[in-house]
Amino acid sequence: MKRRTARAVGLLIGAALDAALGDPRQGHPVALFGTAAGRLENRIWADNRLRGLSYLCLCVIPVAGAGAALQRMGRRHRIADTGLVALATWVALGGTSLRREAAAVERRLDDGDLAAARQQLTHLVGRNPSGLDAGEIARAAVESVAENTSDAVVAPLFWGAVAGVPGLLGYRAVNTLDAMVGHHSRRYERFGWASARLDDALNLGPARLTMALTALCAPLIGTPAREVLSIALRDGARHPSPNAGRCEAAFAGALGVTLGGRNTYGARTEFRPLLGHGPAVSPADLGRANRLNRAVCAAAVVAASGLAMLTRDRLPRGSKEKR
């Protein structure tokens, strides 16, 4: 088995594991990484970009380096290579857990329990849910599903196809740091700058791929692909994020709804531009968003496996392939 085939098969197996099992509730490597990164932050935090860059390097380089070392070891045995890629893919992906959280929000809304729905929403977004009505809760959940279709599925698959195990683990480390310290606040405006900018750079390609795949899959929920692509290209750049807007605009077009509006983060309020031209989001749209996410994830797995098959086989110098 060639290395590129091993990588492609590993991505398929890892995606299947995520679809079947989701994330483990305890002891998830990403959660353990987040705990360690949080402790390091408490030790070295300072209100400047250089300290934040040092924090980023101290967190990401060991993870990506460990992935590269494992990949070098696995190259001599293709079955091991496939297994390592599969395991790293399972660790890096979060599509199934994303849909489970969104479905839990939908159930709370269907039950009419706004308090429980607001609490459940905190598992998906960082905004303040207090005071949100059913429509605003649903909007926040749909926006999270849209953005994380790229962040938690398409992007790790893309970097896994391009760079294998270090790509998968390194990307997930950067994306986790962005979620922890990459947002606008007095504490993280400077310290989290490097993490946020690197995450933006790593997601430039995957976010646009997500936009295209969303348009491709939109007919499955009754929306023409051309209409989705037109809305995404028109509205995607309005969002303050260089990447999230493309995904959210594509989902808005596919679902036939309008996303964006007033978001509250602690004591800070932001007014996000409106994306799409349909009605406001309703709780019923959450199930449709999950179905669209599932289709886009499946398409992303196929695309990533195909991309992996296009990579050149390179063996470590002096090594011989074992079949």
Task: Taking residues 128-143, report their average pLDDT.
Answer: 94
Sequence length of the chain is 323
How far are the Cα atoms of 46, 50, 176, 185, 207 from residue 189, in angstroms, in the given order? 11, 12, 17, 5, 23
Q: What whole-number distance in Å separates Cα of residue 140 and Cα of residue 128?
A: 10
More confident residue, 77 or 173: 173
Q: Given the DSSP bridges, would you call strands 259-265 and 268-275 parallel, antiparallel or unpaired?
A: antiparallel
How far are the Cα atoms of 142, 178, 195, 302 from residue 270, in angstroms, in the given order? 18, 19, 21, 37
DSSP state of 322: B
Lookup: tokens for 220: 């499955």
Angle at 172 between CA 33 and CA 82, to 5 degrees: 105
- Residue 218 and residue 255 in contact, taking contact as beta carbons nearer than 8 Å: no
Task: Taking residues 184-192, report their average pLDDT.
Answer: 93
Residues in a beta bridge with 77? 322
Q: Binning pLDDT at 50, 70 and 90, where does residue 245 land? A: very high
Q: Which residues contact 127 (CB under 8 A, 6 or more apart)?
A: 140, 263, 264, 265
128 pLDDT above the threshold of 90: no
- Residue 86 and residue 10 in contact, taking contact as beta carbons nearer than 8 Å: yes
310 pLDDT above the threshold of 80: yes
More confident residue, 69 or 268: 69
How far are the Cα atoms of 205, 208, 237, 320 from residue 246, in angstroms, in the given order? 11, 7, 7, 44
- Residue 28 and residue 92 in contact, taking contact as beta carbons nearer than 8 Å: no
* Burial label, 320 (beta-carbon count in 10 A; 0-12, 13-18, 19+): exposed
Lookup: tokens for 138: 């649903």
Q: What whole-number distance in Å separates Cα of residue 193 and Cα of residue 241?
A: 14
Q: Binning pLDDT at 50, 70 and 90, where does residue 312 land? A: low
Q: What whole-number distance in Å separates Cα of residue 259 and Cα of residue 276?
A: 7
The pTM of this model reads: 0.92
Residue whose C-alpha is closest to residue 159's, from 151, 168, 147? 168
- Residue 153 and residue 250 in contact, taking contact as beta carbons nearer than 8 Å: no
Could you report the per-residue pLDDT of 25-82, keeping only the tens digit for each?
A: 778 899 999 999 999 999 999 999 999 999 999 999 999 999 999 999 887 777 888 9
Lookup: tokens for 2: 């060639």
DSSP state of 150: I
Rg (CA), the chain: 20
Could you report the per-residue pLDDT of 284-300, keeping only the tens digit for each?
A: 999 999 999 999 999 99
Q: Which residues contact 297 (CB under 8 A, 6 or more apart)?
A: 15, 95, 149, 153, 154
Q: At what angle do helices 155-181 and 78-92 cross, to 10 degrees?
A: 40
Task: Taking residues 274-283, report their average pLDDT.
Answer: 95
62-94: buried (b, 16+ CB within 10 Å) or exposed (e) per residue? ebbeebbebbeebbebbeebbbbbbbbbbbbbb
227 pLDDT above the threshold of 80: yes
